[in-house]
Structure 1
Amino acid sequence: MKIITLLIVSLIAFNPIQKCMAQTDKESPSVLNHIAVYVTDLNVATDFYKSVFNLPQIPEPFHDGKHTWFSLGNAGQLHLIQGAKTSEVHDKNEHLCFSVPSVDAFVNTLKAKNIKFEDWPGKEGAVTLRVDGVKQVYFKDTDGHWLEVNDAK
């Protein structure tokens, strides 16, 4: 009887179902899938993001003329969605950030496209140098959404 009890206790202790259940306690962290930006003119916004950031456009499943999807590599996707009624005033604290190899080279792109940019405090044409050595600039897309570009590695 003791052997049977020991066998039953052993089976319960080493049960694969319990091991599977225990593993669910350590779930993988969530990952970003996409960011959706609501825009007034899809064609204008699509051209802006494609030309300024050189983002690869990817197929979108709706085919309704109201969506443009871009790949952000491992970071996920950027979805532009037609339908915003008017441009709104957006706070700079709420922004999308893209990293580039060189902020100085990117600033030249902004200048060539006549896109105004500023540093964090708001000085037009200036670049912020953060305490960690990262350079950054801020500017708005065609709907007034704030964008940051930095050279963080």
Structure 2
Amino acid sequence: MLEIEELNHVAIYVKNVEVSSEFYKSILCLSPLPRPDFNFPGAWFRLGSRQELHLIGNRAEDLIFHKRHHFALKIRSASAAEQWLKEKEVAFAGPKPRPDGAIQIFLQDPDGYYIELFEL
């Protein structure tokens, strides 16, 4: 039987590692992690206590993005996140309630990936 213990990381392809890294550091306040010396550009970041976000550089093709394709980050306060994003002048949608009562905010990173921020 397969026993999955946790989601370890999410990997996304980006056009410019430096631009995307700055977004994830300064807007989402993620902490950089050491990364193995792969033969392609990239950056790793801590997501919460045990998960990671891996950026993989040199994406050449354009992709089509839709909110249905996204990753979600649980946050403590949607109102604090809304204020933070306004201060940083980041475009976003919401906050709005999900059918289960969670409050969600959607934003896009420099490559167009959708990110859901949600408060339970």
- Superposed pair shares fold, TM > 0.5: yes
Query: How many equivalent residue pairs?
Result: 120
8 Å CA contact 2:40, 2:56 repeated in 1? no
Question: 1:107 matched to which residue of 2?
Answer: 82
Provide the rounded CA distance (Å) in 2 between the counterparts of 1:104 and 1:65: 38
Q: CA deviation at 1:52?
A: 1.5
Choose 1 or 2 for highest CA Rg.
1
Question: 1:73 matched to which residue of 2?
Answer: 48
Question: 2:112 matched to which residue of 1?
Answer: 144
Question: 1:127 matched to which residue of 2?
Answer: 95
Question: 2:64 matched to which residue of 1?
Answer: 89
Question: 1:57 matched to which residue of 2?
Answer: 32
TM-score of the aligned structures, taking structure 1 as reference length: 0.71
Provide the rounded CA distance (Å) in 2 between the counterparts of 1:104 and 1:110: 10
After the TM superposition, which segments of 4 or more aligned residues of structure 1 sit over 3 Å from their partners? none
Provide the rounded CA distance (Å) in 1 between the counterparts of 2:40 and 2:29: 21
Provide the rounded CA distance (Å) in 2 between the counterparts of 1:110 and 1:65: 31
Question: 1:98 matched to which residue of 2?
Answer: 73
Question: 2:19 matched to which residue of 1?
Answer: 44
Alignment RMSD (CA, Å): 1.9
TM-score of the aligned structures, taking structure 2 as reference length: 0.88
Give the gaps of 5 or more residues in structure 2: none
Amino acid at match of 2:44: W
Question: 1:121 matched to which residue of 2?
Answer: none
Provide the rounded CA distance (Å) in 2 between the counterparts of 1:117 and 1:62: 35
Amino acid at match of 1:36: A
Give the gaps of 5 or more residues in structure 1: 1-24, 119-125
User: Which has the larger helix fraction?
Assistant: 1
Amino acid at match of 1:37: I
Amino acid at match of 1:100: I
Mean alpha-carbon deviation: is it higher for 135-144 or for 83-92? 83-92
Q: Alignment partner for residue 3 of structure 2, among 25, 28, 37? A: 28
